[in-house]
Amino acid sequence: MRRINFQPELRSVFEEIGKIAKNLGFSVYLVGGPVRDILLGRSFQDVDVVCVGNAVKLAKVFSKRVKGELIYRRRFPNATVKWNNSAKIDFVSARSEVYPKNKVGLPRIRRTKDFLIDLKRRDFTVNAIAVDLNPESFGNIYDPFNGLGDCQKRLIRILHPDSFKEDPTRIFRAIRFSIELSFQIEENTKKLLSRDLKYLKALSQKRLWKEIKLCLKDGSDVLNYLRKYGVLRVLGFSYPGQSFLERIDVGSIQFDVDPVDTLIMALLEKKSLRNYNFEKSFIRQIKYVREVNNKVLRNIEVVHKLFKLEDYSLLYLFARYPKNSIIIENFFDNREKLQPELNGEDMKRMGVEESPDIGWLMKRIIEGKWIGKISDRKEEVELVERYLEGKDVSW
Ligand code: ATP
Ligand code: MG
């Protein structure tokens, strides 16, 4: 029996969990991501523990012991314990999952007394290795699908041929893990992935976009992989190409913008928004962007449109239309300075009546700054004075 070597700190936490479980009459195992990451010598954050018994009870006692915070979820049921600001352990009761036979859907879930059955419901061999945390057999590795071999060969392999059909989100997970771990997708798994692409269309919008977002967190290059494996084609998505992705990378660093929403915007470029139930604010941003799009941005009204855009939308315009990129850059760098120094009160003191004219004058000042005709407070005051004298102050 192979055994795992934990770092001393981790070891004492896991030994504690094993002892508590024993006192409660349960048994307990470390599973999934952390096992894989320890074997690969990678760092990890979230810990998953499977309990044969009542996982919530185990979590409660453990959380008292470490003076942690217990987050309880009714679904399944499971519980998370957080402590020391960063450490986080998920406690889940061992379960089996039975998928509906003739359609794609969520599985029927049953508790099981056999933790090996819990490993069978998992996605890939490297995620289906368990480590015993029970005091008598602490550290023993259980690896019924030869995940250790696949760790060594650096392969993502599903556990059975219907895996992708049962849960098409695993298609995204396979691609995501292959990038994150620098693994290859095993040949037969690759074939089955292609065969079962069609089931992606059966995913709910919510599950689909959750997976897409998780993938996009790995960076813009992920889109190349989603295209390579046919995922984008099956879902009817496309994106503007490699140089667009490169400009996204440059812009997201230069302007310090998270590009996930920008990339989603790109996927939706040719799509009618009616088919998607995104948040209203996001839909509004897409509409604003479509109004500006590839217009020649020197147009004086454009600055007002740019002020309505969130950073991720500005990044989109920056990357999508290179001829406008300098203007967007300019806007990112100077938008604070474009705000008028004069406020409504200043204008009223100068004699402007309380009316929509105040807002109108503000806009003229912003435009003046945008086109370089106004550079300081004195020139703002002069514009208001010209207005008060009845002169034309539009640019
Ligand atoms: P990381 O958290 O580093 O991305 P992970 O392996 O911990 O990797 P999670 O999404 O946290 O991934 O899931 C925890 C474990 O639950 C996985 O290792 C896997 O065994 C199982 N799992 C998660 N999602 C699925 C799924 N869709 N199908 C089958 N098993 C899954
Ligand atoms: Mg995890």
What DSSP element (H or E) covers 72? strand 69-73
Compute the distance from residue 190 Cα to the ligand 2 centre, in Å.
23
pLDDT score recorded for residue 86: 73
Which atom from ligand 1 is nearest to the alpha carbon of 170?
27
Q: Cα angle at 43 between 3 and 169, to 5 degrees? A: 95
144 in Cβ contact with 116 (< 8 Å)? yes
263 in Cβ contact with 312 (< 8 Å)? no
On average, the pLDDT of the chain sits at 93
pLDDT score recorded for residue 296: 67
Residue 96 banded pLDDT, cuts 50, 70, 90: confident
pLDDT score recorded for residue 270: 86
pLDDT score recorded for residue 238: 94
- Residue 33 CB partners (closer than 8 Å, separation 6+): 44, 46, 48, 127
pLDDT score recorded for residue 77: 74
Compute the distance from residue 211 Cα to the ligand 2 centre, in Å.
14
- Cβ-defined contacts of 14-17 (< 8 Å, 24+): 14/133, 14/138, 15/133, 15/135, 15/138, 16/62, 16/65, 16/66, 17/49, 17/58, 17/62, 17/89, 17/133
Q: Which of 44, 116, 123 to mutate to test the pocket of ligand 1 (most atoms within 8 A of CB)?
A: 123
Pick the more confident residue, 242 or 273: 242
What DSSP element (H or E) covers 30? strand 27-31
Compute the distance from residue 33 Cα to the ligand 2 centre, in Å.
5
Which atom from ligand 1 is nearest to the alpha carbon of 34?
7
Compute the distance from residue 81 Cα to the ligand 2 centre, in Å.
14
Question: Which of these, 322, 334, 180, lies nearest to 251 by C-alpha position?
Answer: 322
pLDDT score recorded for residue 97: 86
Residue 54: half-sphere exposure toward Cβ, Cα within 13 Å: 9
pLDDT, tens digit, 9 for 90 and up, residues 2-49: 899 899 989 999 999 999 999 999 999 999 999 999 999 999 989 999
| Mean pLDDT of the region 336-365 | 93
Residue 167 banded pLDDT, cuts 50, 70, 90: very high
pLDDT score recorded for residue 128: 97
pLDDT score recorded for residue 54: 93
**Ligand that comes closest to the CA of residue 122:** 1
pLDDT, tens digit, 9 for 90 and up, residues 250-263: 999 999 999 999 99
pLDDT score recorded for residue 289: 93
Q: Is the pLDDT of residue 51 over 70?
A: yes
The reported pTM is 0.90
Length of the chain: 395
Rounded distance between C-alpha atoms, residue 86 and residue 350, angstroms? 56
Measured CA to CA in angstroms, residue 119 lies from 14, 83, 381 at distances of 19, 27, 73
Whose CA is closest to atom 18 on ligand 1?
32
What angle in degrees, to the nearest 10, is found between the helix axes of 260-267 and 311-320? 60
pLDDT, tens digit, 9 for 90 and up, residues 274-328: 888 899 999 999 999 998 887 766 678 888 889 999 999 999 999 999 988 998 9
Q: Is the pLDDT of residue 268 over 70?
A: yes
